[in-house]
Amino acid sequence: MFSDARLTNLIANTLMLLSVVALVVGAIVWVAKRPYFAIERVDIEPLGAPMLEYVSPATVRATIAGRLAGNFFFTDLDKVRELMESVPWVRKAQVKRVWPNTLRVAFEEQQPLAFWNQDEMINTWGESFSANQGELSDNVVLPQLNGPDASERLVVQRYAEIARWFAPLDLRVQEVTLSPRYAWEVTLSNGLRLELGRDPAADVADPHGRSGALPFAERIERFVQAWPVLLSRLDGRTPGSADLRYPNGFSITLAPVSNTSEN
């Protein structure tokens, strides 16, 4: 009898304690869901840069309009981060709560390196992205890079290598194209078009280009070293294209001469 009474009291006390806990939790949840804690502000700031160049409060508001509604305590920050990373020109976002009803979002902007294929751009990390190209500053001059899907990093790597080779000649790389058969074509700032042929580095077994880097570089180096002598022998004529696919040399085609008639 005594033990049964103690068990009954224990159960009763436990139930009472659970009831009190439930009431406290319910009260906390009720208070937490009050309008005072509804998300009312989103503050934005740059991440790893002194200022934001392309992302503006208006752009953020337009992207999240009707899609961001929540409570300070219960808002899923991972989902908010995914939403913020859908804002144009955003590469990454970090989201923090700021008491009592604010979210602070730090944006890492895309840094455009080149135009990519038809309507995309490629950033300095070798990643393609979509954004309004009309928002680029007027003084920004980007090369055009082209290639098959998933070849962005390889094309950027080759672009950087080619640009370094021609920089001492005061020539910029205007366009680089990697064909579906992994053959390279380059257009320089003086209009010269270079046929570089297939790149062994583009083999799927070696997507980062290590195995074919030396042969590829040798072809360009040979042409760059011969360029000053070539220009001196052309006597003012302008090369239109050069085929660098030969094992021991290259061939050039002169640009057509414009004939002007005098009246």
Q: Tens digits of per-residue pLDDT, 51-70?
A: 999 999 999 999 988 888 77
pLDDT for 145 beyond 80: yes
- The model's pLDDT over 5-55, given as tens digits with 9 standing for 90+, comes to 676 766 766 766 666 556 555 544 544 454 545 888 899 999 989 999 999
**With contact defined as beta carbons under 8 Å apart, do 166 and 158 qualify?**
no
Q: What residues does CATH 3.10.20.310 cover in the chain?
A: 36-109
Note the CATH number of domain 36-109. 3.10.20.310
For residue 263, the model assigns a pLDDT of 45
Q: Taking the complete model, does pTM exceed 0.85, yes or no? A: no
Q: Which of 218, 219, 202 lies closest to 210, judged by CA? A: 202
Q: Which of 100, 62, 102 lies closest to 84, judged by CA? A: 62
Note the CATH number of domain 113-254. 3.40.50.11690
Sorted by sequence, the CB contacts under 8 Å of residue 8 that are 6+ apart come out as none
- The model's pLDDT over 82-110, given as tens digits with 9 standing for 90+, comes to 999 999 999 999 999 998 889 999 999 99
Q: CA-to-CA distance for 201 and 158, rounded, in angstroms?
A: 10
Pairing of strands 90-98, 41-46: unpaired
3-state DSSP assignment of residue 209:
coil
Lowest pLDDT segment from 27-36, 43-52, 154-163, 166-175: 27-36
Q: What residues does CATH 3.40.50.11690 cover in the chain?
A: 113-254
Q: Which of 47, 144, 132 lies closest to 91, judged by CA? A: 47
For residue 26, the model assigns a pLDDT of 54
- Of all residues in the chain, the percent with pLDDT exceeding 70 is 79
Pairing of strands 120-123, 112-116: antiparallel
Sorted by sequence, the CB contacts under 8 Å of residue 128 that are 6+ apart come out as 116, 117, 120, 121, 122, 152
For residue 238, the model assigns a pLDDT of 84
